[in-house]
Chains A and B, each alone.
Chain A
Amino acid sequence: DGGITQSPKYLFRKEGQNVTLSCEQNLNHDAMYWYRQDPGQGLRLIYYSQIVNDFQKGDIAEGYSVSREKKESFPLTVTSAQKNPTAFYLCASSSGLLNEQFFGPGTRLTVL
């Protein structure tokens, strides 16, 4: 089955720790995205990548880092510099920047 997978589904982190969220897609999409969603809020773009080894900051990139070493994978690291990391993190992909995006199931991160 083609699709986007994210792992883990739930993640708990202690303050001061870095944590990496996984996102993999087998749709052969060029573009991948990371969003953050807080309760009652819309999706805010963290980072996006249009091609391998290239990525751009979104609206709220501070405290986050990404890599795009493979077309299929776009992991997100939430660093200790992110002041309020508890949120629902969504990964998406599209065949191009101007095309519809498809979302993975999400990772819910809680900082204890």
Chain B
Amino acid sequence: QKEVEQNSGPLSVPEGAIASLNCTYSDRGSQSFFWYRQYSGKSPELIMFIYSNGDKEDGRFTAQLNKASQYVSLLIRDSQPSDSATYLCAPQGADGLTFGKGTHLIIQP
């Protein structure tokens, strides 16, 4: 059984600060890692993906991957109230994506 663990939160972060979202996974065969954002009552939308160990930056978002530790994270810089959502981590294995339950992020104005 493939497992993806995320702190369910809520994670409360002041506006303008850095939000750090963490994810661990059990499938060592996972090659790619996806982060989705899901607003309440809406469907998930892809915001970031990473394939290689290290950091990948895209605007205010930075994904970090450490395959040896089976750990992936998402940093959101200069957090805005519009970033308040649930963030889903999804490692990709041989038979597709496995989704974590998500971390509920709240940005406090």
Q: Which residues of A contact B (CB under 8 A)?
A: 33, 35, 40-43, 45, 48, 90, 97-98, 100-106
Contacts and interface: CB of A to CB of B under 8 A. Distances in A.
Given A42-B88, A43-B88, A97 B96 contact: yes
Contact-size category for B: 20 to 34
Interface string B31-50: 11010000000111110010
Given A42-B100, A97-B96, A98-B92, A105 B32 contact: no
A100 B96 contact: no
Chain A binding surface, main DSSP class? loop
Given A98-B31, A98-B32, A98-B92, A42 B45 contact: no
B46 A102 contact: yes
B49 A100 contact: yes
